[in-house]
Amino acid sequence: MIRCKWRAALGAAVYVLLAGEARADVTAFLGVNGSPESRAVTGFSGGMTFVAFGFEGEYASTRESVDDVAPQLRTYMANGFVQNPIPISGLTFYGIAGAGLYRETLGDDSQTSFATNIGGGVKIDLAGPLQLRLDYRVFVLQGEALAKKPQRLYAGVNLKF
């Protein structure tokens, strides 16, 4: 009997989360990775939103600077997020967290390991399906990473469909 109640509650929760119109979006971004030295970061993401909850996959790459002992960092993340379901004056705020893999390379040395990230941002309506996306993240890199907690700030063009 208890098992049936839990199944019904879980089914109702899934229905509520998925009942709204699902939206997809893609973002191309450019920003700054500040650890251990400031360097440009580029990347892209794509995801789905169900009312106020969603998920995305993301790839980002920061170039290495051998002179500054700043490694190349590539991240491959799967993220979940929560956002306000109705934009407020054209602004959609979100909190995001996820996990995935990173690859760090400096000269001939490289390693691949597990990473997590947490952050947030805002999507600003521009025109039609176009949005400006501003995002801040803190990463935690496992293993022998040179910069264990790099931070990233970026601006991107978001297309929702």
SS3 category, 26: strand
How much is the pLDDT for 123? 98
For residue 17, give the 3-state DSSP assignment. helix
The amino acid sitting at 114 is F
Q: Name the β-bridge partners of 50.
A: 22, 53
Say which residue the tokens 């803190």 belong to. Answer: 138
Q: What is the pLDDT of residues 16-63, one digit of tens each?
A: 555 566 799 999 999 999 988 999 999 999 999 999 999 999 999 999
